[in-house]
Structure 1
Amino acid sequence: MNEYGLLIGIIGAGLGFAVAYWIKGEISSQKIKAAEEDALRITEDAKRRAETLIKEAKLEAKDKLFKMKSDFDSETRETRSELKRQEKRLIQKEENIDRKNEQLELRESEIIRAEEKNKKKTEEIQLSEEKYNQLIDEQKKQLEKISGLTAEQAKELLIRAMENEARYEGAKLIKKIENEAKEEANKKAKEIIATSIQRYAGDFVAERTVSVVQLPNDEMKGRIIGREGRNIRALEAETGIDLIIDDTPEAVILSGFNPVRREVARISLLRLISDGRIHPARIEDVVKKVGKEIDVTIKEAGEQAAFDLGVHGIHSELIKYIGQLKFRTSYAQNVLQHSIEVGFLCGIMAAELGLNQKLAKRMGLLHDIGKAIDHEVEGPHALIGSKLAKKYGESSKIVHAIAAHHEDVPPSSVYALLVQAADSLSGARPGARKELLENYIKRLEDLENIANSFKGVINSYAIQAGREIRVIVESSIVSDEEVTLTCKDIVKNIEESLTFPGQIKVMVIRETRAVEFANK
């Protein structure tokens, strides 16, 4: 029994060991299977994450490519639009150059025709001189035969006759030339004036065509210019005024002949600087707003001027032109204030003479109306103003007074002379027109030098702020007959050599004195 029990124990132990080993193998296989499943799951998760990262990277790359393409497209569009604008400006400049060339060709042809006319006139004068010389020779022979005078006496009589005849013919010729000049030489006069302006405009053009805007610092210049010059081009395009940005510290220069546009550009630039937002869209908005404000200011200024003078019934368009004179200067004198002064002076003088005061004031207020558009229309401002007044229903007396206030047409009424006198008074009063001292002195010296360059002139004096020059000549050198010719020659030389507002009176004085003493 003991052996049987031992055997059973051994068999049980073997069975237990076998069961334990089998159980251990099952547990190990399950762990390995679980580990394999975990590894497979981890691998699949890694694959999914890798695929997700690859997709995200591809999407991010596509976004960056799309953004770069959009930026490139926008820059390309801006560059194309800028090139189109530059091309348009170049085309406009070419058209302007073509028009100027055509005008120059027309002027050249006119000058050639005028030279041909002058050549014909010179030939006619030479023929006339030959004819006169023949007549003189015949008179000499007849005098020698008939008079029975000595050669010296005959010579003296002949000289007197020749002098009288020459004076008469000279007076006729001068009158004829003056009439022909008034009728035919208008274009030639314009050329002479244009040449004079070209030569001497530098002395006064700055004060008429330039405004200066002060900047808080020099860094603001870069912001005004903008990236690749966008801002400055937008300002110039919107206002029609040139912006000059140079080495002048903390300043920008606005240059243009239209004073209203220049004022719009000045105020717009000041507002943009104070606001700080300077870009093309903002520039366009500010310029439009300022333009509307200036239009209102112009209308109010014109209405106020008419109200101050008690002048009513002026056409609304003329009121606007009057208001525009607020932004126009002549030798630093405000033209609107000058016109109001002239209106008051005309009214005062008309009252003293028993004339219509309101009519005289109306003429004085409107006399310089042409200066509102003389930068746009060719011709003297007096004639431009007379055409404007006629266009908007002013009476013929007013139209004539405006046209005649600078002798562009001969004055034919008392009112026209009143406007001339009042215009001179307002412009010549002390402090009315501010000039640089050196320019003022230079103008007086030029006047006196021109007068002193003529034969027989002892001395000359420029008076009344350069509006009159008195020339004293030597009586033993310049005769009474030659005084008139000398005066005309001085006037002609002044007109050809100098640029000046209004008119300059030239007075040549010849005096003969005889002094004796009575003694006892």
Structure 2
Amino acid sequence: MDIVIYIVIAVVALAAGAGIALAVTRKNAKSAANSILEKAKLEAEVLKNNEVIKGKEQGLQIKSEAEKQANARLAKVQASEAKQKQREIQLNQQQGELQRKKNENEEQKRALENQNALLDDRRKEIDKMEKSVRDTLEHVSGLSAEEAKKKLIESLKDEAKTAAASYINDIMDDAKLTANKEAKKIVVETIQRVATETAIENAVTVFHIDNDDIKGRIIGREGRNIRALEAATGVEVIVDDTPEAIVLSGFDPVRREIARLALHQLVADGRIHPARIEEVVAKVKKQVEDEIIETGKRTAIDMGIHGLHPELIRLIGKMKYRSSYGQNLLQHSRETANLCAIMASELGLNPKKARRAGLLHDIGKVPDDEPELPHAILGMKLAEKYKEKPDICNAIGAHHDEQEATSMYAPIVQVCDAISGARPGARREVVEAYIKRLNDLEHLALSYPGVIKTYAIQAGRELRVIVGADKISDAETEKLSNEIAQKIQDEMTYPGQVRITVIRETRAVSFAK
């Protein structure tokens, strides 16, 4: 029982302690909350004051900026007013000057009118004096003016007949003395005209078409197709009123052949536009290069020549598209080779070596580059480079006496070259000089930095120079054109004038993958 009483007392005591503790805790919490609230109020007041200060500062800054802008606008307005006043002053001055000139013109006009009046008066006086003098002369001579005029004309006719007969006799005597000279001059001029026509025939290729409707497609919208074809091949494409024909003009027969084949493929395919033109021209160039190699191989087989270096075979094939003084270079070389073999057999020498030397003697005329060397020396160096025997190399280099002959094959090649070129109708010197001049034109322009391609067209009357857009600016193209023109004028001899056209084209290429 006592234990129960103790337990109850203990429980009561614990409950009383818990109540006292709870009361104390509530009082302390209320005090802490009041403290936190006071502190928050103070901080809020400080933040408020700071924001008010910042707002005032921003307002002052905005006001300062507005004042600056207003001052700047005021300065602009004042400057504009000053300019306007200056313009008004200038206009007033110009107006005054115009008024002064107008007054001067009026004074000059009045002076001219007075002078005209004086001239009219003097003219009337002169007419009166002339009539008086005529009347006096008629009275003294006893002849009227018409009668005197007739007599004067008769006397002048007689004098003119006598002078004309004397002049005709002098002309006849002079003609007899200079007849031979004049006849030679007429013959020479006739030959020159014929040679010019021949040169033109050797510089053009006629491309035949089925109907004239194709010409419009070849020209393209605003001429873009024909320009793309000319730029890609370096050949001038002439589309005129000639029925069912297009003329390809260019001194380089390889370029003309590429243009002809490309045009044939484009017309057959039907798709003609700049991108397709470039694609077909690139493809045809590869075909022509393969044809050149095939021609070289076939020529070597036909001539019974073996063991030639592939590069020499390619150079032999290029001869098909070159001419020497109007004579096809490959035919000339084959003819020379056969003559060399016959002559060597007659002299007891090796005909195969002679034929080899004869076939290769003009390879210096078809190099890939154009060094400043005679073609005989250049051909000898090419033969040495591609491991031809020394006597063959010497025969090539000595066939124009530019190298000392050290073998019997050299004079044989020289003589047979002369025989092939000297036969009647074999060569036309005008054509060779014409082609050399156009080659010199192209290589002269190609020597300038930034130049990618050069094409001599229109029989050498125009030189088109294509430059890289990344190397030369638009402003520099005009300077380059002037420099090339000046250099051509200083260093070359040519008939008429040469037009230099510099083309700068920018292309952007991307690939969708």
Question: TM-score, with normalisation over the residues of structure 1?
Answer: 0.41
Larger Rg belongs to: 2
- Whose relative contact order is higher, 1 or 2, with alpha carbons under 8 Å and at least 6 apart? 2
Question: TM-score, with normalisation over the residues of structure 2?
Answer: 0.42
